[in-house]
Amino acid sequence: MERPLLHLMEAVRWLVSRIIGMLEYGISTMYLISLWYIWVAHRENPFNNTSGVMLKIIDTGRLALLMTAANTIVWSTNSSRSFAQLLNSGNLVVRDANDTKPEKFLWQSFDYPTDTFLPGMKMAPGEYTYHCDPQDVMRKGKVKILLCYFVSSTTSAKDIITTTDFLTDGKTITSSDGSFEMGFFSPATFTNNWYVGIWYKHDVPDKSVVWVANRENPFNNTSGVMLKIIDTGQLALLTAANTIVWSTNSPSPLAVKNPVAQLLNSGNLVIRDANDTKPEKFLWQSFDYPTDTLLPGMKMGKNFVTGQEFYLSSWKNEYDPAPGEYTYHCDPTGYPQDVMRKGKVKVFSTGPWNGLRWSGVPGLTKNTIYTFKLDLDEKRAFYSFVLLGSVMTKLTMNSNGVLQRSMWAENRQEWHVYISSPEDTCDNYGTCGSYGSCNNILTPVCNCLDKFVPRDPRNWAMTNWSGGCIRRKPLNCQNGDGFLKYSGIKLPDTQYSWFDRSMTLHECKQACLRNCSCMAYSNLDIRNGGSGCLLWCGDLIDIRELPGGQDIYIRVATSELGSKKTKLLVLSLLLLIGVTVTGLTIGLYIWKKKKKRKMNLKDDLDLPLFTLSTLTKASSNFSVENKIGEGGFGSVYKGILEGGHEVAIKRLSKSSSQGVNEFKNEVICIAKLQHRNLVKLIGCCIAGGEKMLVYEYMCNRSLDLFIFGLFNHIISVLTEDLLTDEKRSLLLNWPKRFDIINGIARGLLYLHQDSRLRIIHRDLKASNILLDADMNPKISDFGIARSVVGNETGANTHHVVGTHGYMSPEYVVHGVFSVKSDVFSFGVLVLEIISGRRNRGFAHESHSINLLGHVWKLYKEGRPLELIDGHLMDSHYISELPRLTHVALLCVQQCPEDRPDMPTVILMLTNDAILPQAKEPGFFTESKVTSECSTSMCSTNEITFTQLEP
C-alpha cells in the first residue's frame, strides 16, 4: 500500500492512492472523497462533480477538500499541521513530519467513524477495540473480514468532552457503565425550547431527566449550538453566533493545562484535569448545582464556610425545567430538618433527624438498598443517601410540590414510587397550629395536646385550626414547672431549637428547667436506647401522631402534674373504690349469668348497625344457596341489601364459646382500618342473640380456591357454570400472582406500621385472602388479631391460636408473637402461591418434609424452578420466580431477628438489589403422612386451633 505524504513547503501534490479516491455511490452527479467503503470525509456535504476538486494541505496547515472554482472549503480536519498519511490500517492521520508515535497524532479518521468498524478502531464505553488475526487479515491486498458495526454518523459512545471534541445536537456522552446519558433534549414536541441535560439512559422513551444545565436559558433551535470546553477552561454552551448561553463557574480554570468534562457513573458531570481523577481536585461538578432530583451521593444542606447552599427546586411545569414555585432544603437553622417551601412559605417538613431517619417520615426505615447520612459539624450540614447495592433510585420533587422516592423496577421496566410526601392533610406544615396534634385517622384530624385547649374555641369548632392551642394553666417558671411525656409523635419544627450530643436525658431535662424559654426536650438520637439533648424554645408547631413516632417532654404548670401527697390520696381513694366496685361487679356478673347469658355491645361499636330482619331478608333467610363459606366461629352468607348492594354476612355461631370475644375483637381491630388491601367492614348486627358482621362482598371469594384446586371439591355443587380448577389456576398468571403478593405485603405494612394501632394479624393464610372482581387481594378475618401500642412490635400469650403450617416457631413453642410472626406467615403464603401447594400436608415421593423443607432443599441445590406451579412454567416472567422464592425463604427463617420487616420485604419485591443469604427455615421437618386417597381426590382442610398443648 502506498504511503503518500503532503508537505506545505513542497510543490502541491494531490493525494493519490489505490485505496483513496472518488467514491460514486449509484448517483452519477454525487461524489465523495473516501477510503473505499470504510470511511467518508465529507459525508454530509457531497459535491456534484469532480471538476476542479482537490484534497490538499491549505495555508492554515489543515487537510482540506476544496472546490477551486468557487474557492470553497467543503471539508477540513481540525488540526493545524502540514503532514497527512494514509496508514496500512486504513487510518488517515495528520501528524508532525518527525514524529510517528500514534499518541502524538494530531488528527485521525479513526476518531470519526462512519458505518464501518475496522481493526484497531475504538468504541466507548470501555474503549472497546476490535483486532484481526494478522495472518488472516489480508488476501490479495484486500481485507478478508470487516466487522460492520453500524455506528451512528453523529455519535460515538464516550463520557468525555474535551477542547477539541464537543457535544452537538444528535451526539451524546454516556457514563462508562451505561447508566446515564447527556445531550440535547426538548421536554415536549409542541415547544421549540431546547436544553442540555442528563438522564437515565435505560429509561426510554420517557427520559427521566435528572439535571438541566441551561434550565433558565433555553435556545430555540440546535443548529450550530455546541457544548464545549472554551479557551478559559470552562464548559460552555455556545450558539451558532458564538454567544454563551450557559457556562460553568469553575474556579481558576486556567491553572489546569488540559481540562476535560466527564460524565461519571453516578450521574455527576465534573470538570477536571485530564490526568487527575481525584474527586477533591474537581474544578466543578453538577452535583453542586442540583435541579429537581437528588441522586445517591448528592448532598443537600449548607457549607457554613463558603455560604453555598445545596437544594432542590421544582420545574415550573411538566414541560418547563425553569425553577418553579417549590424548593426543598436541608434547613440547618436550629437542628437540621428537611423543609419544602412554596415561595417563602413552609408547606412541608420532615421533622428533625433522629440518628436513623427524619422523625416525620417513618417509612424511611433501615433497609438493604441504601442508607441515610447526616454530616453535621461547625463547617457544614449535609444530608445525603448512599446506595448499598446496584439498584437505581432517586428522590424527585415534581412541579406540584410532591416529593417522590422511586426505584427502577428492572423486571417491569418502569419507575416504582414507594414513598410520596406530603401524602395527607397532616403532612401539610402546621395544619393544627401550635400545640395542636394532627391524626389523619380521627375526625376531626386536629386535636389539642393533653393539658392544652384551643386558643380560639369558635374558630376551632369551625375547623379553622391555624390559631392552635394554649396551655390550660399558664406556666410559672419561678415557682417550678414540670414536664408531661407525649409518645408516638412527629417531633415539632426545630427552627428555634438547641442541641447537645453528649448530654443524657436527665441532664437535658435539667437544662430545660433552668431556661424559662425552653418549652420541651427530647432525645437527639434514638439509637441504642437514646442519647443527646434537643431543646425547643418557643411554641411547638407541626406536630402529628405517627406509628413508630418518638417521645417528647413538654413543659406544663406544676398544678397539672399534681403533688405527691395529692397523688397518694387519690391512689388510696381509687384503691378503696376499686375494691368495692370489684366486689359489686363480681356479684352482679354472677347474678346476670344465672339470669341470662347476654351481652349488649351496641354502645361499644362505632359503626352502622343493621337490623336482624334486614340481614335475614338480604340472605334469603340465611339459605344454603346463599352460604359461601364456613369457619371456626360461624358461617358466611352472600346478601343483597335494598338497592342491590352485595355484601358478605358473617354470622357467628351461637354455640361458640369464643364467639363474643372474637366478634368484639374483630370489630375493634378493623372498624377504623382503611386500606385498599384490607377487607372493608360495613356494619354489624346485635339482636335476638345473634352477632353478625357485614363486609363488602368479594365476588372471587378466597385465594385458596384458585391456587390449591379446591374449587370442584367445595363449591362446584352450587352451579354448573363455574370454571374448573385448572382454568381458575390459569387465571392467576405470573403478573397477577405478583400483584396479589405485592398487595398482601402492602396490607401487612399498613397493619404493622401505618395504621393508628399496630395490628398483628396472627392468622394470615390463603383462605383469609379474599379477591375482588379485579383480583385485588384483601386481608380478612381479624377475629384473633392483636393490637399493640407505641413502639411495641409484639407480645406473648398462654392462649396460642392460629393455623397449623402458617404459625412461626417462637409463637407455637413459647407463645411469643410479633410483626415478625406475620412475616413468617407471609413467607409461607408466598411459597404456596408460587408452587400451588400447601405447606401443611405437603407430600413428595423422595422425602417426608413439608413445603418449607422442600423449598429449602431446592434452594441449597440450586434448583428453585422445580418448585414452580406448572401453570407458570411457560411464563415470560419465569426469571423473576427464583428471586421471589429467595425473598420468601428470608421471611420464614427460624429466628425472628433474621427475618426482614415488611418495609424491607416490599423493597426486595420491587427492585433487583442483591439479597442476603437465607438461613434454615423454621418448622421444615415433618413426619410422613399416609393417606388412603390419592392426591388428586383428597383435599387438606385448614383448621384454626385454639390451644396448643406441650
876 secondary structure, DSSP code: T
Ramachandran sector of residue 178 (left: φ over 0; alpha: ψ -120 to 50; beta: rest): left
| C-alpha cell read off for 556 | 406544663
Q: Bigger pLDDT: 369 or 931?
A: 369
What is the residue whose three cell numbers read 384483601? 778
pLDDT interval class at 589 (50, 70, 90): confident
Contact 887, 899 (CB under 8 A): no
Q: Is the preceding omega at residue 205 within 30 degrees of 0, hence cis?
A: yes
Taking each helix axis from N to C terminus, what angle separates 819-835 and 902-909, rounded to the nearest 10 degrees? 30
Q: Which residues contact 167 (CB under 8 A, 6 or more apart)?
A: 161, 173, 182, 183, 184, 196, 226, 227, 228
Residue 846 confidence (pLDDT)? 64
pLDDT interval class at 724 (50, 70, 90): very low
Give me the catalytic one of 159, 292, 427, 763.
763
Distance CA 654, CA 126 (A): 75
Residue 936 confidence (pLDDT)? 34
Contact 32, 25 (CB under 8 A): yes
Contact 314, 215 (CB under 8 A): no
Ramachandran sector of residue 850 (left: φ over 0; alpha: ψ -120 to 50; beta: rest): beta
Q: How far is CA 936 from the centre of its chain?
A: 43
Distance CA 51, CA 627 (A): 96
Residue 793 confidence (pLDDT)? 60
Average pLDDT over residues 254-264: 83
Residue 268 confidence (pLDDT)? 97
pLDDT interval class at 101 (50, 70, 90): confident
Whether the predicted pLDDT of 570 surpasses 70: no
Bridge-based pairing state of the strands 403-409 and 20-24: unpaired
Residue 901 confidence (pLDDT)? 94
Report the range of poorest mean pLDDT among 125-129, 499-503, 787-791, 927-931. Answer: 927-931
Average pLDDT over residues 659-663: 62
Whether the predicted pLDDT of 454 surpasses 70: yes
Average pLDDT over residues 64-75: 79
Average pLDDT over residues 459-479: 91
The verdict on pTM exceeding 0.85 is no
Whether the predicted pLDDT of 510 surpasses 80: yes
Residue 329 confidence (pLDDT)? 95
Residue 519 confidence (pLDDT)? 96
| C-alpha cell read off for 263 | 460524565
| Domains of the chain and CATH, by start | 20-143 (no CATH), 162-287 (2.90.10.10), 290-423 (2.90.10.10), 427-564 (3.50.4.10), 604-697 (3.30.200.20), 701-929+941-950 (1.10.510.10)
Any alpha helices (H) in 750-794, and if so which ranges? none
Distance (Å) of CA 152 to CA 114, 121, 160, 176: 7, 15, 17, 18
Identity of the amino acid at 811: Y
Identity of the amino acid at 659: G
Whether the predicted pLDDT of 80 surpasses 60: no
Contact 938, 931 (CB under 8 A): yes
Distance CA 711, CA 728 (A): 8
Report the range of poorest mean pLDDT among 24-33, 371-380, 450-459, 905-914. Answer: 24-33
Ramachandran sector of residue 861 (left: φ over 0; alpha: ψ -120 to 50; beta: rest): alpha
Burial degree of 576 (CB within 10 A; 0-12, 13-18, 19+): exposed
Q: Bigger pLDDT: 840 or 945?
A: 840
Mean pLDDT of the chain: 80
Average pLDDT over residues 216-233: 90
Residue 798 confidence (pLDDT)? 58
Whether the predicted pLDDT of 619 surpasses 70: yes
Average pLDDT over residues 412-424: 87
Q: Which residues contact 21 (CB under 8 A, 6 or more apart)?
A: 33, 34, 36
| C-alpha cell read off for 379 | 463547617
Share of the chain above pLDDT 70, in %: 78
Question: 599 pairs with which residues across the strands?
Answer: none
Residue 65 confidence (pLDDT)? 86
Residue 725 confidence (pLDDT)? 47
Bridge-based pairing state of the strands 543-545 and 436-438: parallel
Contact 924, 853 (CB under 8 A): yes
Contact 377, 370 (CB under 8 A): no
Share of the chain above pLDDT 90, in %: 41
Q: Which of 706, 703, 727, 725 is nearest to 716 (CA)?
A: 725
532-543 pLDDT tens trace: 999 999 899 999
What is the residue whose three cell numbers read 431556661? 515
Whether the predicted pLDDT of 364 surpasses 80: no
Q: Bigger pLDDT: 157 or 7?
A: 157
Whether the predicted pLDDT of 593 surpasses 80: no
Whether the predicted pLDDT of 483 surpasses 70: yes
859-886 pLDDT tens trace: 888 887 887 766 666 566 677 888 999 9
Q: Does the annotation count 96 as an active-site position?
A: no
Average pLDDT over residues 518-538: 92
Dihedral pair phi/psi, residue 69, rounded to 5°: -60, -40
Average pLDDT over residues 374-384: 92
Any alpha helices (H) in 515-658, and if so which ranges? 558-561, 564-595, 612-618
Distance CA 754, CA 710 (A): 34
Report the range of poorest mean pLDDT among 232-241, 299-308, 653-662. Answer: 653-662
Between CA 770 and CA 775, with CA 773 as vertex, the angle to 5 degrees is: 55
327-343 pLDDT tens trace: 999 999 889 999 999 99
DSSP three-state, residue 839: coil
111 secondary structure, DSSP code: G
347-356 pLDDT tens trace: 999 999 998 8
Between CA 367 and CA 553, with CA 521 as vertex, the angle to 5 degrees is: 90
Whether the predicted pLDDT of 740 surpasses 80: yes
Residue 539 confidence (pLDDT)? 94
Any alpha helices (H) in 462-540, and if so which ranges? 505-514
Most distant CA pair in the chain, distance: 129
DSSP three-state, residue 682: strand
Residue 57 confidence (pLDDT)? 78
Whether the predicted pLDDT of 909 surpasses 80: yes
Whether residue 664 is annotated as binding a ligand: the answer is no
Burial degree of 723 (CB within 10 A; 0-12, 13-18, 19+): middle
Distance (Å) of CA 352 to CA 331, 336, 380, 934: 10, 6, 16, 62
Average pLDDT over residues 134-141: 39
Contact 808, 893 (CB under 8 A): no
267-313 pLDDT tens trace: 999 999 988 889 998 999 999 999 999 999 999 999 999 999 999 99
Residue 934 CB: number of other CB atoms within 10 A? 7
Between CA 110 and CA 114, with CA 111 as vertex, the angle to 5 degrees is: 70
| C-alpha cell read off for 769 | 385472602
Report the range of poorest mean pLDDT among 627-631, 662-666, 683-687. Answer: 662-666
Residue 369 CB: number of other CB atoms within 10 A? 21
| Cα dihedral sign, 565-570-576-579 | negative
Residue 943 confidence (pLDDT)? 38
Q: Which residues contact 801 (CB under 8 A, 6 or more apart)?
A: 762, 763, 784, 944, 945, 946, 947
Q: Which residues contact 897 (CB under 8 A, 6 or more apart)?
A: 820
Distance CA 577, CA 63 (A): 108
Residue 937 confidence (pLDDT)? 31
Ramachandran sector of residue 469 (left: φ over 0; alpha: ψ -120 to 50; beta: rest): beta
- The beta-strand segments (E) located in 688-803 are 690-696, 758-760, 769-771, 777-779, 786-788, 794-796, 802-803
Whether the predicted pLDDT of 174 surpasses 90: yes
Q: How far is CA 371 from the centre of its chain?
A: 13
pLDDT interval class at 370 (50, 70, 90): confident
Q: How far is CA 394 from the centre of its chain?
A: 8
pLDDT interval class at 440 (50, 70, 90): confident
Q: Is the preceding omega at residue 422 within 30 degrees of 0, hence cis?
A: yes
Whether the predicted pLDDT of 146 surpasses 80: no
Q: Bigger pLDDT: 440 or 668?
A: 440
